[in-house]
Amino acid sequence: MPAFLVAIRNPAAELTAVEITYLSPGGRRTSRLKLSRKTIGVMEPSSAVRVDPVGPELLVAEGFWTTLSARQRVGVPAWSLTCTRNMRSFVPPDEVQVLHIARDNGADGTNAADTLAHRARGLGKTVIGHAPLARFDDFNSWHMAHLGLTG
């Protein structure tokens, strides 16, 4: 079965885990498996899929695909934090001055983003929040709808 792999790096940028997403023949996340996505390895607190190098501005979002979609909409370098648990405990690197948080809709996504925003402000970071339109779960579903795609 085809799969998409992303590297998860700890705060020191060391590769510590891999997230595997199993794909359907059409290239989307499969619905044929009970477990279509899994992480192998150790995901330390503040680990991330570093889509772009760290810099003075950074966008973070929950899932990898959501991160790519939010990155395209917001236009700044981005990291995927992979889950709300990690978003709640994430500590932005010292180099980051402006932290963009692209949250998922729903109570858990909002809570995780609010927790991170509070921590980042306490560290002296400027925080800019981003949310998808209310009728979408996340930035990826919004982006897919914008492209006329579903699933």
What pLDDT, on the 0 to 100 scale, is given for residue 98?
Answer: 99
Q: What is the 3-state secondary structure (H, E, C) of the chain?
A: CCEEEEEEECCCCCEEEEEEEEECCCCCECCCCCCCEEEEECCCCCCEEECCCCCCEEEEECCHHHHHHHHHHHCCCEEECCCHHHHHHCCCCCCCCEEEEECCCCHHHHHHHHHHHHHHHHCCCEEEEECCCCCCCCHHHHHHHHCCCCC
Structural domains in the chain, sorted by start: 45-146 (3.40.1360.10)
pTM of the entire predicted model? 0.91
What pLDDT, on the 0 to 100 scale, is given for residue 136?
Answer: 86
Model pLDDT for residues 84-116, shown as the tens digit of each residue? 999 999 999 999 999 999 999 999 999 999 999
pLDDT at 150 over 70: no
Q: Which residue has the higher pLDDT, 146 or 135?
A: 135
Of 26-35, 112-121, 122-131, where does mean pLDDT reach its minimum?
A: 26-35
pLDDT at 142 over 80: yes
Model pLDDT for residues 30-87, shown as the tens digit of each residue? 667 677 789 999 999 999 999 999 999 999 999 999 999 899 999 999 999 999 999 9
